[in-house]
């Protein structure tokens, strides 16, 4: 058999095929191997899952991977595209149904493992890269070819301002069947197949055809999206296509979409006839097919608007990129004129330059919006009237007063209460511990320590953006409750005089919060305070 590949073309040994008849020498063979490579990241994810802390063979990572791609495709092109947490949440539900006896944290980890594998986060979301062999040149010599592709990618939604997941054409082809095809011809053939299956009453097969129709609609939209994206990025890269092939493509796409929408309305009418059937299984299958066809119709309607607006995008980008006057400013040499002189400066001068540069490029900063709860606290604050009536010294500056400070002994008392009570604990237990702390001299100081504990618990429950304004709050919370402390509510209310709201559960770190169930304290704290 080793000599078979060395025989001249047309010869054969014992009825074996000659090299000319072997498919490995066919020009389409490398493309078939490249298609096979699309499943390799999923295989690698399966192998990696077996090395994780959960029991091997507990979760079907292959099913989870295709489900993740399908979840991204289902929302792709609509206003609410799927985010990372959306897809992970869907896979978490599947994992919980697969192994309900396993902990909830493990269910989420298997979802994150699957999505991270599809994003190739182990390689910092770089394209999957594999090398395959190619024997298709005239000499049939061995060559190496590189195959690169992506399955899921992250991109920012400019409307929502969120990072969403996007399924690539390779991912769509992996779900549809694995081979490249002409999307428009495939859609027409699939609609004919769906119509025949509905006429025969083969609803299971018709439902599979409807799912395929949805994937084909997403793939058709991907073609147009890629063209518009490249046009907005650099018109020079696609100017030749716009001059030759793109106008005809847009005309053909417009006619094709109009035909698909007409066919989908016709198929929907046939499916709705089956909704009146007495067979419950037929009715449920018809309802699912109707939902898929409705989604396809919505996608084609949105795609039709994009096709109509595509010529306008070209004209706008031509005006912006080609006819824009050149910049009048001097473009400096970054290395010779900026970086080298900056490195030659002393540190104080260099900091002055870089600070000024940062302030110039960041632009104006909008004023911070007032928050209602801060206004209420300011209005309720008890002020010292004697201090307000004094004359201002010459050195005093008009402006906002310094924020009130918390005494170190109050912070130490609050931390002492947390250590003595132990976490996880209810907020009511911490409040009672502060209000009955014998280490403080007065009831006002005990009340202050209780308020500090309540504010720290509220910060753990709903932290705000960690900018410079809230750095002190972060440090204060970490000092009192610990750097990884978290809080959650379970609809249990505080039952203490003078306090209102949820009796929060505070845990030392997120891993212990899921299983924490401390008992609330309902005994009135003033009884203890009188004893003290």
The pLDDT assigned to 318 comes to: 82
> In sequence order, which residues have a C-beta less than 8 Å from that of residue 437 and are 6 or more positions away?
413, 416, 417, 446, 449
Mean pLDDT of the region 11-34: 62
Residue 286 neighbours by CB under 8 Å, 6+ apart: 203, 271, 272, 274, 275, 277
Residue 27 tokens, joined: 């020009």
Residue 231 has pLDDT above 90, yes or no: no
Give the chain's mean pLDDT.
76
d(CA 435, CA 454): 12
Mark 474-512 as b/e (b = at least 16 C-beta within 10 Å).
eebbeebbbeebbbbeeeeebebeebeebbbbbbbeeee
Number of H helices, E strands in the chain: 21, 7
pLDDT above 60: residue 320: yes
Q: Flag whether pLDDT at 344 surpasses 70.
A: yes
- DSSP code string of 419-440: HHH-SSEEHHHHHHHHHT-TTS
- Cβ-in-10-Å burial (0-12, 13-18, 19+) of 313 comes to middle
Give the rounded percent of residues in the chain with a pLDDT score beyond 90.
Answer: 9
Contacts of 24 (CB under 8 A, 6+ apart): 135
Q: pLDDT value at position 530? A: 42
Residue 454 is predicted with a pLDDT of 87
d(CA 167, CA 154): 9
Report pLDDT for 95. Answer: 93
181-193 pLDDT, tens per residue? 444 555 555 555 5
User: What is the per-residue pLDDT for 23?
Assistant: 67
CA distance 289 to 268: 8
Q: Please report where in the chains the tokens 């799927």 appear, as a residue.
A: 82
H-only helix segments in 201-234: 203-233
pLDDT at position 1 is 47
pLDDT higher than threshold 60 for residue 466: no
Please give the Cα distance from 199 to 230 (Å, whole number). Answer: 43
SS3 breakdown of the chain: % helix, strand, coil, rounded to 5? 60, 5, 30
For a pLDDT cut of 70, what percent of the chain falls above it?
Answer: 72
Provide the 10 A C-beta neighbour count for residue 413: 23
Average pLDDT over residues 513-531: 62
- 477, 459 Cβ separation under 8 angstroms: yes
| pLDDT at res. 194 | 60
Cβ contact 434:417 at 8 Å: yes
Is 9's pLDDT higher than 50? no
Long-range contacts of 143-148 (CB under 8 A, 24+ apart): 145/30, 145/34, 147/33, 147/34, 147/37
Higher pLDDT, 369 or 140: 140
| Identity of the highest mean pLDDT range in 14-28, 207-221, 270-284, 426-440 | 426-440
Q: What is the pLDDT of residues 103-139, one digit of tens each?
A: 999 999 999 999 999 999 888 888 899 998 888 777 7
With 70 as the cut, is the pLDDT of residue 335 above it?
A: yes
**Token pair belonging to 259:** 């035909």
- The confidence score (pLDDT) of residue 307 equals 82
Quote the CA–CA distance of 453 and 429 in Å, as a whole number: 11
Residues whose CB is less than 8 angstroms from the CB of residue 354 and which lie 6 or more positions away in sequence, other chains included: 342
pLDDT at 179: 39
* Residue 27 burial by Cβ neighbours in a 10 Å radius (0-12, 13-18, 19+): exposed
pLDDT at 395 over 50: no
Dump pLDDT digits (tens) for 493-504.
888 888 888 888
């Amino acid at each position: 058999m080793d000599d078979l590949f060395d025989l001249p073309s047309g010869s054969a040994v014992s009825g074996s095929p000659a090299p000319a008849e072997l498919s490995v020498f066919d020009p389409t063979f490398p493309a078939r191997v490249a298609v096979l490579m699309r499943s390799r990241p999923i295989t690698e994810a399966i192998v990696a899952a077996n090395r994780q802390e959960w029991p091997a063979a507990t979760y079907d990572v292959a099913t989870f991977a295709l489900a993740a791609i399908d979840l991204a495709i289902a929302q792709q092109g609509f206003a609410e595209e799927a985010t990372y947490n959306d897809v992970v949440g869907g896979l978490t539900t599947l994992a919980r149904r697969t192994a309900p006896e396993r902990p909830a944290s493990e269910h989420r980890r298997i979802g994150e493992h699957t999505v991270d594998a599809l994003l190739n986060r182990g390689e910092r979301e770089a394209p999957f890269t594999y090398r395959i062999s190619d024997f298709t040149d005239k000499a049939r010599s061995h060559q190496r070819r590189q195959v690169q592709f992506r399955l899921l990618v992250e991109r920012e939604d400019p409307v929502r301002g969120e990072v969403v997941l996007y399924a690539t054409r390779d991912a769509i082809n992996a779900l549809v069947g694995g081979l490249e095809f002409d999307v428009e011809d495939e859609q027409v053939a699939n609609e004919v197949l769906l119509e025949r299956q509905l006429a025969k009453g083969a609803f299971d097969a018709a439902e599979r055809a409807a799912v395929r129709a949805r994937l084909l609609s997403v793939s058709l939209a991907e073609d147009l999206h890629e063209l518009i994206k490249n046009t907005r990025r650099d018109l020079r890269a696609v100017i030749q296509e716009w001059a030759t092939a793109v106008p005809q493509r847009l005309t053909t796409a417009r006619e094709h979409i109009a035909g698909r929408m007409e066919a989908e309305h016709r198929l929907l009418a046939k499916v709705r006839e089956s909704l009146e059937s007495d067979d419950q299984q037929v009715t449920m299958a018809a309802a699912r097919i109707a939902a898929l066809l409705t989604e396809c119709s919505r996608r084609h309607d949105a795609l039709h608007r994009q096709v109509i607006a595509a010529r306008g995008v070209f004209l706008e980008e031509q005006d912006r990129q080609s006819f824009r006057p050149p910049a009048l400013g001097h473009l400096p040499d970054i290395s010779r004129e900026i970086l080298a002189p900056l490195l030659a400066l002393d540190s104080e001068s260099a900091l002055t330059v870089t600070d000024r540069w940062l302030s110039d490029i960041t632009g104006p900063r909008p004023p911070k919006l007032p928050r209602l709860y801060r206004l209420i606290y300011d209005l309720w604050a008890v002020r010292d009237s004697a201090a307000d009536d004094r004359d201002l010294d010459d050195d005093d500056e008009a402006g906002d007063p310094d924020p009130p400070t918390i005494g170190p002994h109050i912070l130490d008392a609050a931390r002492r209460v947390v250590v003595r009570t132990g976490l996880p604990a209810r907020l009511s237990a911490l409040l009672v511990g502060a209000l009955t702390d014998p280490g403080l001299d007065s009831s006002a100081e005990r009340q202050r320590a209780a308020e500090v504990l309540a504010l720290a618990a509220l910060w753990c429950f709903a932290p705000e953006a960690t900018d410079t304004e809230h750095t002190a709050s972060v440090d204060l919370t970490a000092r009192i409750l610990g750097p990884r402390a978290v809080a959650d509510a379970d609809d249990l209310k505080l039952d203490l005089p003078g306090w209102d709201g949820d009796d929060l559960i505070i845990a030392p770190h997120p891993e212990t919060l899921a299983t924490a169930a401390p008992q609330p304290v309902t005994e009135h704290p003033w009884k203890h305070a009188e004893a003290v």
